[in-house]
Amino acid sequence: PMDFPAALRTETPLDVLRRVFGYDSFRGFQQEVVEHVAGGGDALVLMPTGGGKSLCYQIPALLRDGVAVVVSPLIALMQDQVDALRAVGVRASFLNSTLDPDTRRLVEAEFVAGEIDLLYLAPEALGSRATLNLLDRGRIALFAIDEAHCVAQWGHDFRPDYLALSMLHERWPGVPRIALTATATSATRAEIATRLDLTDARHFVASFDRPNIQYRIVPKREPRKQLLSLLRDEHPGDAGIVYCLSRASVDKTAEFLVANGIAALPYHAGLDAVTRAAHQRRFLREEGLVMVATIAFGMGIDKPDVRFVAHLDLPKSVEGYYQETGRAGRDGLPSTAWLAYGLQDVVQQRKMIDTSEGDATHRRNLAAHLDAMLALCETVRCRRGQLLEYFGQPATGPCGNCDTCLTPPESWDGTVAAQKLLSTVYRLDRERNQRFGAGHCIDILLGRSNDKIVQHRHDALSTFGIGTDLREAEWRGVVRQLLAEGLLAVEGDYGTLALTEASAEVLGRRRTVMMRREPERPASTGKTAKA
């Protein structure tokens, strides 16, 4: 509809921001990125979710001649992204497998004629000769590579299609490229730069701090009930996302919430596409809905008033945790990131790693990611500080808005407890050649003469009953923390406990182990924090 006179091409980035998008001023380093890319430079942009990455390529797309080609893995969201641009008068289209042949031809013609400013493409499209030939026939303003961490094998969201994107530079050497991601450690960032041939690109790295998000990690007891009190006490009527690991637990949790009067909807890959799309739409448009979902949900979701993100299962990596919790509070208002985590999570994830496809390096990689996540869960330090450090950003002291800052966990010298537990595992393993799970080892320490104990004559072990000074919950905490520190390992289908090389240091009294005290009741910090 709008026909831009040539004079408008001389607009400044700020003019475009105001005229087209209706915003007053740039955020963070948006303006620097826009100027750099509009001037023909390559860029690698790291900005947390909600930071405003899109404008970093959308404005250069309007300032430069030709069509900006945006590579995005989020096929389900292309329509929304394009609609949002069209709503402000920007000419945008997309090409992906969902289009019918007629529409596809129409979009291709628009591209060749330069009648659009942005063309969104799925990464797999660039693997097809037809698409490459099409791109040769038009004039390309720039390439934007969204969710660029998908190119990194060391990351948590690897997509093989992304590897082919390194050819953009070879095929169209004069076209500037901008890669964007919300999540990357320095290792991942280096991998992105290498794989996308962006080593000479300018890097723009925003602070990853999300000060309005309150991070809380609690021991998992009865997760659904714990979740329900969180929602009732602190987030009544609020919109939020609840992440579960499995489809089955998504369904059960959504049913449980609905049965308890909370407006909740399930979302996972096992639901048909129509239902999924309908639930997503309702979540975006209606107020106060709770989306219970697997991690299939959320990438690219732009809903500013998500007041909480709750995890009922342990995320596989800190990157994943950060990205998922980052969907809370994009409007800058106080929001909660809440995670319930327990021993079973560790057992389950170790098992998934052991049985995962891929080579030893891949499994080590997964294990390293899990270890970093466990370390975050068990830390007695400021959670935010630990998160930021993980992403290579120095923290500036305790944040005052995470559970460990608000109710500092007591730490205690757990060396003796650790020795008791480890020597139980040692005796079972070395003396009897048996391995058992955490529950059974704790039963031995607590001196419980149940059937299994009697059957295996574990009441005759020298460690039987020597742990009655701690409660069962405390023992589980001991096991978790030993696992998190690599002083103990879980193995096999049944999550049996085994010693590690480092265990010997504790058994030999060469190492003390400080532990986080298990709270008597779940820590509730909500109200005070909102002040």
Q: Which residues bind ligand ADP (CB under 6 A)?
A: 23, 26-27, 30, 47, 49-55, 182, 302
- Please state, in angstroms and rounded to a whole number, the distance separating the CA atoms of residues 328 and 131: 37
Rule CB under 5 A: say whether 384 interacts with Zn ion. Answer: yes
Q: Which of 405, 421, 487, 490 binds Zn ion (CB under 5 A)?
A: 405
Cα 467 to Cα 28, 122, 169, 464: the distances in Å are 54, 57, 63, 8
41 SS3 class: coil
- Pick the stretch among 26-34, 38-46, 263-271, 374-382 that binds Zn ion (CB under 5 A): 374-382
Q: Which of ligand ADP, Zn ion, none interacts with 399 (beta carbon under 5 to 8 A by kind)?
A: Zn ion
**Choice between 261 and 408, CB closer to Zn ion:** 408
Helix axes 13-21, 30-38, angle to 10 degrees: 110
Q: Least CB distance from residue 388 to Zn ion, whole Å?
A: 10
| Residues 81-140 contacting Zn ion, CB under 5 A | none
**Choice between 59 and 95, CB closer to ligand ADP:** 59
Q: Which of 387, 402, 444, 470 binds Zn ion (CB under 5 A)?
A: 402
Q: Which of ligand ADP, Zn ion, none interacts with 50 (beta carbon under 5 to 8 A by kind)?
A: ligand ADP
Q: Least CB distance from residue 145 to ligand ADP, whole Å?
A: 13
**Choice between 126 and 399, CB closer to Zn ion:** 399
DSSP string, 270-337: TS-HHHHHHHHHHHHHSSS-EEEE-TTS-TT---TT--EEEESS--SSHHHHHHHHTTS-TTSS-EEE
Q: Which of Zn ion, ligand ADP, none interacts with 336 (beta carbon under 5 to 8 A by kind)?
A: none
Q: Which of ligand ADP, Zn ion, none interacts with 55 (beta carbon under 5 to 8 A by kind)?
A: ligand ADP
Minimal CB distance to ligand ADP: which residue? 52
Could you tell me where the beta strands, DSSP code E, fall in 184-225? 202-205, 213-219
Which of 67, 178, 56, 78 has its CA nearest to residue 112?
67
Q: Which of 196, 213, 399, 513 binds Zn ion (CB under 5 A)?
A: 399
Q: Least CB distance from residue 512 to Zn ion, whole Å?
A: 25
Rule CB under 5 A: say whether 271 interacts with Zn ion. Answer: no
Which of 75, 73, 36 has its CA nearest to residue 57?
36
What does the block give as tokens for 240?
A: 């939020």
CB 515 within 8 A of CB 478: yes
**Choice between 182 and 337, CB closer to ligand ADP:** 182
**Choice between 34 and 421, CB closer to ligand ADP:** 34
- Pick the stretch among 9-17, 115-123, 405-413, 502-510 that binds Zn ion (CB under 5 A): 405-413
What element of type H or E holds 508?
none
Rule CB under 5 A: say whether 382 interacts with Zn ion. Answer: yes
- Please state, in angstroms and rounded to a whole number, the distance separating the CA atoms of residues 40 and 35: 9
**Choice between 23 and 494, CB closer to ligand ADP:** 23
CA torsion 364-369-374-377 (nearest 10°) is: 180
Q: Which of ligand ADP, Zn ion, none interacts with 4 (beta carbon under 5 to 8 A by kind)?
A: none
- Pick the stretch among 116-124, 281-289, 377-385, 415-423 that binds Zn ion (CB under 5 A): 377-385
Q: Which of ligand ADP, Zn ion, none interacts with 382 (beta carbon under 5 to 8 A by kind)?
A: Zn ion
- Please state, in angstroms and rounded to a whole number, the distance separating the CA atoms of residues 243 and 141: 39
CB 257 within 8 A of CB 231: yes
What does the block give as tokens for 305?
A: 């008033």
Q: Looking at this protein, which amino acid is placed at residue 393?
A: Q
**Choice between 302 and 354, CB closer to ligand ADP:** 302
Name the residues that contact Zn ion, by CB under 5 A: 382, 384, 399, 402, 405
